[in-house]
Amino acid sequence: MKSKKDLLSILDIRDEIPEILDLAIKFKNDEITDKPLEGKSLAMIFQKSSTRTRVSFEVGMYELGGNSLFLSSSDLQLFRGEPISDTAKVLSRYVDGIMIRTFEHQDLVELSNEADVPVINGLTNLEHPCQALADTQTILEKKGSLNVKLAYVGDGNNVCNSLLLISACLGMDISIATPKGYEPDEDIVNEAKSISKETGSKVQITDRVEDVVSDADVVYTDVWVSMGDEEEKEKRRNDLLKYQVNGELMNLASKDAIFMHCLPAIRGEEVGSEVIDGSQSVVIDQAENRLHAQKAILYYLMK
């Protein structure tokens, strides 16, 4: 197997995060205008549906001079019983990179182990590193530095896990408020706390939402019911009711705090309309940065 770079977790690019963020900003500012991926193809496997991930990767490959192939669950033998190893080996003969958006993180790991080309985590139940990179780019743009307090409120899901890791890696303070039983992954929390001792990041995990949001520079939340959690919908809504980011909660943050959400959002559940549609919201700029961050990832892994 040839040497290759993958992005399965934020930890895979720990030392390269500043370089990738710099690339993303340069792409956004049209400072890189060549077509570095001309003649290259990216296979995009979607077991989970998507808006931002699909469009940003497709457009990103096009703008870099390459080609992308959308492969849904109904398009592949993988989801009809073919082993992941066979799919990985065959696709490696056709394309120059594979992006997968799926449920189980172990499936991503197996795909990476068997593929001879770079593999990108477009989302798993454990992590969403592409989102965390775009989020960090947005914070840099809006606040001017990463010397901020990031408050995450709600379900300690894949987005929360990746935000924990990237914050610790970059020395950014992060405070997370979740109900009991909804905390981020324990291994990731421990890893983030270990890294934070080296970088000076402050990591806080609590169930006290007011403590987390108080004086925060960035307030972030995500949906309460992710794909695959639909059977727990009512329980999740009841358990997370006190963790809605509404106007009253935002008033506890810094006066110039920004509100972030990776979208899609359910107004009236995890966030109030007055917040996500208000002047402090940067969610559309945040969504746009998925394109620029994706281009930086593709450039870094496939050039």
How does pLDDT run across 67-77, given as a tens digit for each residue?
A: 999 999 888 88
- Whether residues 81 and 149 share a domain: the answer is no
pLDDT level of residue 55 (50, 70, 90 thresholds): very high
pLDDT level of residue 3 (50, 70, 90 thresholds): confident
The pLDDT tens digits for 130-165 are 999 999 999 999 999 999 999 999 999 999 999 999
- Whether residues 265 and 226 share a domain: the answer is yes
- Whether residues 180 and 90 share a domain: the answer is no
- Which SS3 state, helix, strand or coil, does residue 303 take? coil
Q: Answer whether residue 5 is part of any domain.
A: no
Contacts of 298 (CB under 8 A, 6+ apart): 37, 42, 57, 60, 61, 64, 66, 97, 120
- Whether residues 121 and 172 share a domain: the answer is no
More confident residue, 81 or 58: 58
Supply the CATH number for residue 91's domain: 3.40.50.1370
- Whether residues 22 and 155 share a domain: the answer is no
Neighbours of 156 (CB within 10 A): 22
- Whether residues 50 and 145 share a domain: the answer is no
Looking at residue 77, its pLDDT comes to 85
Query: What does pTM read for this prediction?
Result: 0.96
Looking at the annotation, which residues are catalytic? 101, 128, 131, 222, 262, 290
Domain residues for the domain of 262 are: 131-286
- Whether residues 55 and 172 share a domain: the answer is no
Question: Which of 247, 282, 285, 283 is closest to 264 using CA atoms?
Answer: 283
The two structure tokens encoding residue 82: 């073919």
- Whether residues 221 and 252 share a domain: the answer is yes
Give the position of tokens 């920004």: 258
Contact by Cβ (8 Å): 258, 218:
yes
Average of pLDDT values for 42-49? 95
Q: Answer whether residue 1 is part of any domain.
A: no
Contact by Cβ (8 Å): 187, 228:
no
Q: Answer whether residue 2 is part of any domain.
A: no
- Whether residues 256 and 298 share a domain: the answer is no
Q: Answer whether residue 35 is part of any domain.
A: yes
More confident residue, 15 or 76: 15
Contacts of 41 (CB under 8 A, 6+ apart): 61, 66, 67, 68, 69, 94, 95, 96, 97
Contact by Cβ (8 Å): 61, 298:
yes
Number of domains observed in the structure of the chain: 2
Predicted confidence (pLDDT) at residue 1 exceeds the cutoff of 50: no
- Whether residues 104 and 157 share a domain: the answer is no
